[in-house]
Amino acid sequence: MMPNNLKAFTLLETVITLGICCGILLIGSLQLTRYQQRLLFDNTIKEVTAALDHASRISTIKGEATTVRFIKSRHCINLDGGNFQQSAGKQIDLDRNINIRGLDNFVISSRGRSNPRTVIFAGYGLKKEIKYQMLWGRIS
């Protein structure tokens, strides 16, 4: 029998190295998931803000009031009035994990104005409050 003079990792060193690599991958995948959730949350806020801005402009142009409602059971925003019945943007579907409070009967006048209102977005362990006050088709 010939003696083994080759240098190599022992089984224990290999298992430890593999465990460290798996731990690093797990941390990375958790951070990626958190990043994706944050991205969905931020995009939902931007989408709702854009919808309110759009509704305000349509109300100003058409001279008709628009009512914005968040329908919790379907997780969507409905825009009623301002000729939205003819528009493809009447209903905006949102992520089911994000809840919105403060959009109950949010009315935009025929001049694009609305009363100040705080809208609360919550989901994925995140929460954000935004105060909406629209004047002449712009969120201030």
User: What pLDDT, on the 0 to 100 scale, is given for residue 71?
Assistant: 86
Among candidates 68, 73, 135, 63, which has minimal Cα distance to 104? 68
Q: Which amino acid, residue 55?
A: A
Write down how long the chain is.
Answer: 140
Q: Which two tokens stand for residue 4?
A: 């083994």
Residue 107 lies in a domain: yes
Can you give the CATH number for the domain in which 35 is found? 3.55.40.10
Residue 6 lies in a domain: no
Q: Which two tokens stand for residue 65?
A: 């009031």
Residue 5 lies in a domain: no
| Residue 34, domain extent | 11-139
User: What pLDDT, on the 0 to 100 scale, is given for residue 88?
Assistant: 44
| pTM for this prediction | 0.72
Residue 85 lies in a domain: yes
Q: Which two tokens stand for residue 115?
A: 């009363």
Answer yes or no: are the C-beta atoms of 100 and 79 closer than 8 Å: no
Answer yes or no: are the C-beta atoms of 53 and 45 closer than 8 Å: no
Residue 2 lies in a domain: no
Please write the tens of the pLDDT for every residue from 64-97. Answer: 888 888 888 888 888 887 565 554 447 888 889 9
Q: What's the number of domains the chain is made of?
A: 1
